[in-house]
Structure formats: C-alpha cells, structure tokens
Structure 1
Amino acid sequence: MKTPTAVHCRADPCSVQRIGSGEGGPVEAGSAGPRHEDAVRAAEALAQSNLRLEESNQSLSDLLGLVGHDLRNPLTVSLGFLSMTELELDDLEQTGVDVSGARAMLGRATEAAHRVESMLASVLEMSRIDYATLRGRGELLDVAETVRRAVTDLTISSAVEIGDLDGLRAVADASHLRQVLGNLLSNADKYGAAPITITGTTVGSTTRVVVADAGAGVPPDFLPRLFERFSRAERESEPGTGLGLHLARRLCRIMGGDLGYLPPEGDQGPRFVVSLAAG
C-alpha cells in the first residue's frame, strides 16, 4: 500500500512530509528537499530555453518578412524590364534580325525571375501565417470554377486534366484554395509525371479535391517530414524553398479543412487530397 503524503506550501518552496512509513516510523519533513530543488532548477532552465527559442523564431519570422518585402519591389521592376525587352526583340525580329539567341537567354532570365517571385510569395505568406494576420473567408464556392481559375493562372509545362466537378461545392476562401491547388499542381509538374489530373467528390459533409499524377510518389523515408517547413527530399534536383506543401496544409487548416497524401496504389499514382466542408 502506498504511504499517504502531506504537502505543505509556504512562502518558501514546498516541503514534503510522509505521514507514516511502511517500515515503521515517520520520515522527517524536508527529506525530498534537494530533489525538489533540482526539479525547480530544471523547470526554470526549460522555461528560459523555451523563451529563447520563441525569441529566435520571432527574429526569423521578422527577417523573412523584411527580406520578402524589400526584394519584391526591385523584382517587380526587373520583370517589367524583361517584358519590355521581349517587345524590343519582337520589333527587331520583324526587321529580319536573328534574335533567337537573345530570346533564349531572355527566356531563361524571365523564368528565373518568376521562380524567385514564387519563392518570395511563399515566404511572405508564411510570415503572415506566423504573425496570425492571415484569415480565411469561408464562403460556399463552386469547386469547378475555382479549379479552372487555378489552372488558368498557373504556368507549368504539363497539361492538367480536370474531371467532372460540376455541382461540387465547398466552404472555403477562394484565394486560399487557388493557392493550395497551384502549389499542388506545381509540385506534380516538378516532381511527378504526366498525366496530372484533378478530380473531386463529396462524402457525407466533406468535399474532397484530389490532385494526382503518374510519378513515383514521395520516397517512403521522407513521408514523416513531407509537410514540415523547409523540408525537401534528398533526391529533389528542382529548385525550391520546401515551403509549398507546408503552406498548402496550413492554408487548408485555416479554412477549417486539411491536406493529406496517398501513395501510389494499384493503377493509381500519388495523390494529394484537399478536404473541406461541403456546406
């Protein structure tokens, strides 16, 4: 039988006194004092470590936000001049000048600038989530229309096949959902294989939108870190921030839904599943 214990808390640290001992005779008060003092010191050290960690995370978020804002303006100017250069090349080409080499170099520069623009957008969005300034406006959406707009707004090399989504509804923020779909489609284009498809269904009170491709899927050893911030599989050769899937899941959860992953199975390729309230 366990011996009952009385705890006396005064202005000084708590002292523990056993009322009785199974081996006869009481145990003097304060016999657990050194052990208690060690626990107090450990708790204080842990609290200080957590505080330093929070301060470090806040500093990182501040830096990401500052860098994102300071780089976006000159990048926008650069993209504008690249676009004007494209028009100049068109004019030169009409005069018979061979501009194929210049056009190829311009295309690579424009592609790189758009890639940086996409990375900055992810960083800024992540910073807004960290500061809890990002909100989701829940409204009943036409899923088919939202998917079509997301595909139209995206520039990827692979064609996207859209299944029958007519009549499908979901409670979500249209801008957030388009961004989620854009991240998933870009991910499939970079690391997957054609065909890329978008299908959807309603099960009970949940609407599911599925983005699938015919690639090998996520390496099994990487699955535990798939949605972590800045995580990238070792075999990935395409440039990126490691924020896309993390941000997509965070946006889904802001909308009251979730984002999950299903590995290849049978004749089905890897699939990312967006789950939202059906409304």
Structure 2
Amino acid sequence: MMAARHFTALRSRILLRELLLAMLPLAITVLLLGVALAPNNQALINRPQDGWTPYAYQGLSQDVLRYQVARLDPTLTRQQRLVVRDQALSSVRSRAQFSDLSAVEAHGEGSLAAIERALMQNTDESLREAVQQALALNSEALEYSQQMRDQYKDALEGMRNALLGSAVVAGILGLLLTLRALLMWRADRVRAEQREARQQEALSLASHEMRRPLQSLLLASDLLRQAATEGQRQHLLTMIEDSAAQLASRADLTRLNALYLDVTLRVRRIDLVPLVRRFASARVHVVTPGSPVIWPVDADRARQILENLIENAVKYTDGVVEVTLDAPNGAPRLRVRDFGPGMSDDLRGRVFLPFERGPQSLVAGSGLGLPLVRRYARAHGGDVCIAPASGGGLVVTVTFGEAQEQITAPSGATGAT
C-alpha cells in the first residue's frame, strides 16, 4: 500500500514537471515580450491613437501671415483688418489645439505667448515679429512631428524585433524540449531492451544451471528401477532429493535476478572439505586438507562454481582432472587443473564474457559457465583467474573473501554439503 502511494506521488511529480516544462516556451515568450515592449509603451500605448500632427501650428502661421497681408492690402478697411487680426488672436488663444506645446517650443525660439503679445501690440514691427515667431513655431512643430514619426518607427521596429526574438527563443526551446523527449524515449527504449536482455540472460543462466541436477535426477530415477538392495535404493533416493533441492534452488523464478544477475547470497559458515570431496570420481582427483576449512559461503552457489569448473575441465581433457582445496592465507582457495589443449592469451581474456567459449572445435557448449563462476566468486568477495599449467593444460583458481550483499542464513539452513 505504501509502495503504491509512493509510486502515485512520484508519478504526479513527474507529470507536474513535464507540464511545467511544456509551458516553459510560453512563459519565456511572454516574459521577453513584456521586457522588450516596456520601453515602447510611451510611444505605442500612451500616445493618442491617431498620432501627433502639426496641423494646428500650420494653421496658426497661415492666420498670422493672412493678417500681415491684410495690413498691406489698401482695399481693405480698418474694420476688415481687425476681423482678420481677431481670427489670428482666436487661433493663438485656443491653446488646447496645440498639443505638446511645451515639447514643441523646446525645439527652438518660437513661442505662442510671444506671438500673442506681438499681435496685441498691432504695429508693423510687432507684426513682423509675430510672423517670425509663427514661422519658427511651425518649423519646430515639423521637427517635432518628424521626431514623433521616428519614435513610432523605432517602437514598431523594436516590437517586431521582440516578436522575432521571442519566436526564435520559443522555437529553440521547443526544439530542445522535442530533443529531450526523443532522448527520453530513446533512453526508455534502451532501458526496456536492457531489461529484456537481462531477463533473457537470467533465463539462459537458469537453463544452463538446471541442466546438471535435472540430468542427475533422471539418471537416479532410472537407476532406482534397477536397484537390488535397500541400501542402493536409499542412496538413489538421497540423490533424487538432492537433485530436486538443487532444481528448486536454481529455478526460483521469483529470485532469478538475485540468483544470476545482481547476485544475493544466502551465507552461512560451513566446512568446504565435504563440499569439495563429493566431486571425487574416477576422472576427478580431489585433494583437500586434513582439517576443516570453515568459511562463510553460500553453499549452493559454491557448489555451482565447482560443477561448472569441473564440467569444463572434463570436456577438454581425456585424462584426470585435479581439484585442490587449500587455505594458504587463511582464506579458501580452489584450483581445478586439466591436461587439455589449453587456450591462447586472447581467448583467456574473453572466456569470462557471456557466450564466449574455449576451443570450439572440440566440444559443444553455451559459454555461460565461466561468466557465472566469476559472478559468484566476486559476490563472495573473491575472484577467478585462468593460467596455463606447467606440462600443458590450464589451472583455474577461485579465491574466496568476505561475501558482499549477503543474506545470512539461519544456522539450520540446508545447503549443498
């Protein structure tokens, strides 16, 4: 139940992370647009929608010039000239129509107030001054209008660049997220293939290791039918029970990973001498110390080490195979020596890889025994090595150390003895 809740929480965190990553391009695009457009707010947002125009200033200069012409026209009466002047004064005094007046006047010497004073004086000299001020103010308005157009242009250019930059950044982020998704998909696929390969390797090793006890079981069952005495029957029944126990130990489908891949040992202290002596036969000469060799090992896995090494040695030699157990430095050491053709240095470096085999022209095999021997030896804190023997053949040496990642078995646990 706790594991299910943990898995659900983990899955929720992963989904939230992926959702946030998917929203990242949108968030960065909005942020970039906000930062890039902020300096343009004055030109694009706070300005009148129709933009700024100098028409009012142009109209003022025309009204002042019209009054100057009226003063010089002898056909006009004094009253008619005053009407024209009043029109010019009305235009000057309608200050609301002159937008951004202070900003326009800051561009030069033209001044709306100066125009009004000159018109009020109503002299030839003051009129010339009013005309000069009106023309100057109109010129300043044209400069200001050009400045406003440049600002609008710069603002629009900045907005375009911001949009393009945001699009580029969003595109790159989208590409990176797509690449990340592809890499994650590929990693998931590789992990799935690795899991499948490990499962296949575990099944291959289990099949390889079940073959010997199954053969022994079939042979003992066949001999049991021909047993003449009670002692023979009991001996064969013991063989059958031992083979069945070995089959159960090596074919536990719930522990294939612990048995053959990431090896987990069931360790207890046993005497290795009886374990080694049980392999003595007409073709296997066993040499053991006269005193017990007590060491913490997984008895079933130690037995599989011996089975694989002796089986390989018997395959490649027609003579006797020598098996020696000793403890030169306090820790157990197993040596299996054959008198076969040996193997090259290159092949000795590869035989511990799965499906690599010795001289292939001699006998058939799967190439799984020695890799499993090394895996079990290293799980026991030791190792295995192969060296040429004096006089021909090979010597395979297995050392034992302190077992790692072990499960300590109870003192009454059964094992190969």
TM-score per shorter chain, which class? 0.5 to 0.7
Separation in 2, partners of 1:265, 1:62: 32
Shift of the 265–248 alpha-carbon distance from structure 1 to 2, 3 Å rule, reads closer
Aligned residue number for residue 141 of structure 1? 270
Separation in 1, partners of 2:400, 2:195: 34
Separation in 2, partners of 1:174, 1:168: 13
Aligned residue number for residue 132 of structure 1? 258
CA contact (8 A) 2:377 2:383 kept: yes
Helix, strand or coil at the partner of 1:214 = coil
CA contact (8 A) 2:202 2:257 kept: no
Shift of the 268–172 alpha-carbon distance from structure 1 to 2, 3 Å rule, reads farther
Separation in 2, partners of 1:270, 1:66: 27
Pick one of 388, 400, 409 that aligns with 1:264: 388
Aligned pair 1:12/2:24, yes or no?
yes
Shift of the 184–47 alpha-carbon distance from structure 1 to 2, 3 Å rule, reads same
Q: Which has the larger radius of gyration?
A: 2
Structure 1 residue runs without a partner (length 5+):
1-8, 16-27, 89-116
Aligned residue number for residue 48 of structure 1? 188
**How many pairs are equivalent?**
222
Helix, strand or coil at the partner of 1:170 = strand
Matching residue's letter, 1:60 = Q
Aligned residue number for residue 207 of structure 1? 332
How do 1:73-222 and structure 2 match up within 5 A?
Answer: 79=219, 82-83=222-223, 124-125=250-251, 130-132=256-258, 135-149=264-278, 151-152=279-280, 158-164=283-289, 166-192=291-317, 194-204=319-329, 206-222=331-347
Shift of the 76–145 alpha-carbon distance from structure 1 to 2, 3 Å rule, reads closer
In the TM superposition, residue 189 of structure 1 has moved relative to its aligned partner by: 0.8
Cα shift readout 1:220-258 (whole Å, capped 9, x = no counterpart): 33334312333323524323332222232333334x233
Query: Which one has a larger percent helix, Structure 1 or Structure 2?
Result: 2
Matching residue's letter, 2:267 = G
Identity of aligned residues (%): 21
- By relative contact order (CA 8 Å, sep 6+), the higher-ranking structure is 1
Aligned pair 1:244/2:244, yes or no?
no
TM-score w.r.t. length of structure 2:
0.41
Separation in 1, partners of 2:205, 2:367: 17
Of 192-201 and 210-219, the range deviating more from structure 2: 192-201
How do 1:18-33 and structure 2 match up within 5 A?
Answer: 30=169
Helix, strand or coil at the partner of 1:248 = helix
CA contact (8 A) 2:206 2:256 kept: no
CA contact (8 A) 2:354 2:367 kept: yes
Separation in 1, partners of 2:249, 2:322: 27
CA contact (8 A) 1:206 1:278 kept: no
Separation in 1, partners of 2:286, 2:194: 44
Aligned residue number for residue 109 of structure 1? none
CA contact (8 A) 2:289 2:325 kept: yes
In the TM superposition, residue 135 of structure 1 has moved relative to its aligned partner by: 4.6
Shift of the 146–269 alpha-carbon distance from structure 1 to 2, 3 Å rule, reads same
Aligned-pair Cα RMSD in Å:
4.7
Cα shift readout 1:116-151 (whole Å, capped 9, x = no counterpart): x9xx969955967633267533222222222112x1
Query: Which one has a larger percent strand, Structure 1 or Structure 2?
Result: 1
Helix, strand or coil at the partner of 2:334 = strand
CA contact (8 A) 1:138 1:171 kept: yes
Pick one of 48, 60, 73 that aligns with 2:200: 60
